Chains A and B, each alone.
Chain A
Amino acid sequence: MKTIKALVLIIFISSAGFAEAQSKTVTANLKVYGNCAMCKRRIETALDAKGIKAATWNTKTKMLEVVYLPEKISEQKIHDLIASVGHDTDKAKAKDEVYANLPFCCLYRDHDHSGMTDN
């Protein structure tokens, strides 16, 4: 039990240390329109970009939590990245040509398929 406590402590301390070193990060919550797990994968993959540390999109609430370094990437650029793969945000709209190629369950402008998974 002692070792477990020590272990937990070590992890805690080292993560705190890291957090301090990375204090320039900003966490933003953005509304991103989409439906399903496929959308989630697409949105999160689009945000696999320089300056973005983490991106998690919630299928139910449609909210995206994104952690980024403002020195390296602007918030608007994040909106543009999302729109470029076919998902609308409140600050960027996806092109029709891109939207038209989304899989059926992801056609969020036409229907709400939040409950549907990859099929």
Chain B
Amino acid sequence: MKNWLWTACVVLAVQAHAQKIMGLVVEKNAKGVEQPLAGANVYWLGTSIGTTTRDNGVFMIDRTDNSDRLVISYVGYKADTVAVTTETKSLKVELKSDAYLEEVVVQGWKPSSRSDFFSGINVIQMDEKELFKAACCNLSESFETNPAVDVAFTDAITGTRQIQMLGLAGPNTMISVENMPGVRGLAASQGIQFIPGTWINSIQVTKGTGSVVNGYESVAGQINVELKKPQESETLYVNGYANNGGRLETNLVATVQAGKKWATTFLVHGSARPFEMDQNKDAFLDFPLGTQANVINRWVYNPGNGWLGQFSLRYLNDRKQGGQTNFDRDNKFTTNRYGLEINTDRYEAVGKLGYQFPGKPYKSVGFQISGTVHEHDSYFGFTEHVADERSVYGNAIYQSIIGNTSHKFKTGVSFLYDRFRETLDYTQTGSVFDFGRVEVVPGGFVEYTYDDLKKFSVIAGLRVDYHNLFGVLVTPRLHTRWNMTESTVLRTSVGRGYRVANVVAENTAFLVSSRQLVLERAVGDAYGFRPDEAWNYGVSLNQDFTLDYRPGTLSLDYFFTDFRNQAVLDYDLNPQQINIYALRGKSYSHSMQAQLDYQLARRLDVRLAYRYLDVQTDYQGGRLERPLVSRGRAFVNVAYATKNLWKFDYTVQRLGVQRLPSTASNPTEYRLENFSDPYWIMNAQVSKDWGERWSVYVGVENLGNFRLDNPIVGAADPFGPFFDSSMVWGPVFGRMVYTGFRYRVK
């Protein structure tokens, strides 16, 4: 008590002697809400003592004996004069506009609320803070802190990464960009490397089947990427990155407000890998040389009357050259050196138009259309793979309610046109495959949501598509949510998914080997296969808790995927072949995951996770575990931030054994073990922010320097029959040190 009296005395004493007077200058906008007037002039009448108001409308001015009147003026407003006595401690002045100026209210636009859209579906939202933990470089590297998504190299030469969800290969997961087709078709193999990390605003990861609105394709899950938007991104964002593997990257995001109704954002990416790296001395580059230029220009139009328009244009140019050291293009199709090139050009245009009915936030209509040209030109030793895809996708969605907001529905139509030209040419043996085809798929969908606005919600969706090659595809899906208590949520999902497998483009790993392609049926549309068809069943439980005043979450989930039809890739039947045939029997995946997030102390977050997989398929040689899938993955992430904006992040994970494809019929020196060893991978990062604009980061990937000694089978004889780089089960490159910066202007 004494203490506070003392403080009060000091405060009073200081105030009595204070020679400054403080004030606030405001105006009222059209709605009658006070706004600060920054830069208004404030001076003592008849003197030259003056100041101006700050951004928040506040001024502080020295008292003077020469005047007792303060004048407050601002261009376009009526000046005001206020009497000030020694008793006056602070004042507040409202200036009135001297002419009637029409107030233009620029309404902030919010995307069709994602949380609302997905409310009944279990979606993991990854925001920038999470994405910063992985400083490099594109979507394929964004999941380091997310145990639901595995990312692995497809082979030891091309540096291509693919994601895995529920133990199922990448393309089983639907990857969309702002709910439009993103990584699919020919882009399936390289596509996730074409979305730079710094362009990403947030990522939504859904395990199991997603909403029918987005199509019939999600079997294992859905990953939606939201890019930076004109209406919410920084005015300027510059990023630079370099690592000791010789990778250099730079990104730029710039937003310009073009008038009251238009805004535009430029997303620019440039990267290069100019230096040859061969750590394991097998005469093969650990990853290819290359360059990438990637540009998006997007516009948003918001006239403020309920309509909203968006369109964007994109160009991508990606060049990769890899293989043996000192290979150059002149050695193409010779046995001098083994080499490969993967060259991609991609053009995209997307347009969206939406209308929100005035006064009815639940009622809206939207039209979306996108067009893509994708050109893929590649060769691997003597194998040439050339393809291009032209595709157009459009949909119209209407959403409203039935009676009240407990009953919502979405309905609409969609259309997909997909034309592929694709040839695979084994130039040495002379066998040529031609996989050209046209897919035309009109469809319609209805999704009904019941939400009692308290405890339960049910989302029932049905879509029916007519595929020109495969007839009618019916896709039912059901999601339920039950808030058992305030902190417990139980969710279930059931649904069917279809997908036309692009068996070559999705599995380019077998091209980087001496394996010959053997298809069950030599010709036919879509490689002679019906679309993959699978049912997915999932259940998940989230429990929030507070322990010692700190929040935490425990999540448990289980997903079962049951394939009814599948184009099965068989690496085991013959190590000199890749056999692809239609599923006869069973093919399934069981996935179980437990995750614990807890704030151990202020600013110290810990995440523990364990995931178990059991993925099996009936091959021609019997039921086998799917090769190159880790049975178990254990994961610890620790993130700590200091008060002065140092951030420390550390991740350690253990990948369990993986079954390796059979090499029993090879000569001894070209044989592999039946199973890989389990191994540990550690990543660490330190970053420091200076103010709101600058941040610098330094990190190490693969701190333990674990790498495969001989990732390529038969590396010494790349043109022999036993050469195979597709059996890679761990890192090819050891410890990787990187550094980078971010500069942001809000």
Contacts and interface: CB of A to CB of B under 8 A. Distances in A.
Contacts of B546: 15
How extensive is the interface on chain B, given as a class? Answer: 35 or more
A22 B24 contact: no
A22 B554 CA distance: 23
A19 B548 contact: yes
A110 B24 contact: yes
Contacts of B36: 104
B56 A102 contact: yes
Interface string B654-687: 0000000000000000000000000000000000
Contacts, number: 74
Interface in B14-40: 18, 20, 22, 24, 26, 34-36
B88 interface: no
Contact of A92 (B7, B18, B35, B541): B7
Contacts of A113: 34
B694 interface: no
A89 B546 CA distance: 28
A99 B550 CA distance: 31
B602 interface: yes
A18 B545 CA distance: 13
Interface in B527-578: 541, 543, 545-550, 554
A22 B4 CA distance: 28
A76 B545 contact: no
B543 A110 contact: no
A110 B3 CA distance: 28
Contacts of A93: 11
Interface string A52-87: 011000000000000100000000100110000000
A76 B6 CA distance: 12
A97 B24 contact: no
A80 B11 CA distance: 12
B58 A107 contact: yes
A109 B58 contact: no
A19 B550 CA distance: 12
Interface in A5-55: 7-8, 11, 14-15, 18-19, 22, 48, 53-54
A103 B58 CA distance: 9
A100 B602 contact: no
Nearest to B4: A91
B60 interface: yes
A107 to B, nearest CB: 6
Contacts of A8: 488, 543
Contacts of B34: 111, 113
B421 interface: no
Given A19-B548, A109-B90, A111-B34, A101 B543 contact: no
Contact of A100 (B18, B22, B643): B22
A100 B603 CA distance: 29
B521 interface: no
B22 A15 contact: no
A100 B547 contact: no
B54 interface: yes
B467 interface: no
B260 interface: no
B92 interface: yes
Contact of B549 (A14, A53, A102): A53
A96 B545 contact: no
B7 A7 contact: no
B545 to A, nearest CB: 5
Given A7-B554, A48-B643, A110-B24, A18 B548 contact: yes
A115 to B, nearest CB: 10
A53 B548 contact: yes
B56 A104 contact: yes
A96 B554 contact: no
13 contacts: A4-B488, A11-B543, A18-B548, A67-B549, A76-B4, A92-B4, A93-B11, A96-B90, A107-B24, A109-B90, A110-B92, A111-B92, A113-B34
Interface of A: 4, 7-8, 11, 14-15, 18-19, 22, 48, 53-54, 67, 76, 79-80, 91-93, 96-97, 99-104, 107, 109-111, 113
